[in-house]
Amino acid sequence: MCTRRIELTFIAPELAWVKEEKMTFPPQAEGAATDGIDFPFDFPFDFADARKGSATWEIDHVTASDFQMIVYGPCVNPRILVNDQAYEVFTTLESNEYMIIDSRDYTVYKYLANGTVQNLFDNRGLEQSIFEKIPSGLLRINWSGDFGFDLTLCLERREARW
């Protein structure tokens, strides 16, 4: 009988649990926010925000979170407001192009239709940091509505949520 001793070591770069939450915000035409809310009688007020480029998202977490934001073209100088924090890059995206803002790596890259990748770090809005973490709680999200984007939050905890 032969016995072997095997030693195994685990290394964690960060001692945290990370759960990703993703929300897609498609381009919005005028009045699209009220689609589907139609009663056989009228109310003296509206149940939804009729403005295009307006959304809310409830984040149930204890701290602000790093994120990855993917903006899809076509658009010029995309600007997204999350609770009055501006995430803005001065660039033009054509219809088959997209841009990724990554707050963990402090990077902004544009992916062109021909496969070329451009670094847009110097084209970011400097009035407010585009790498500012997204707060928890109720998020009020506003943009022109002419383009779509995905927002993925990295909800990080030091211990597992039970």
- CA distances 93 to 11, 81, 118, 146, 155, Å, are 40, 18, 11, 12, 29
- Tell me the pLDDT band of 46, cut-offs 50, 70 and 90: low
For the stretch 100-159, pLDDT in tens is 999 999 999 999 999 999 999 999 999 999 999 999 999 999 999 999 999 999 998 887
For residue 7, which amino acid is it? E
CA separation (Å) from 106 to 101, 130, 131? 8, 9, 6
The residue assigned the tokens 């960060």 is 14
Three-class SS state of 70: strand
- Lookup: tokens for 21: 């939450």
Unique residue bearing structure tokens 């759960």: 19
pLDDT digits (tens, 9 = 90+) for 75-99: 999 999 999 999 999 999 999 999 9
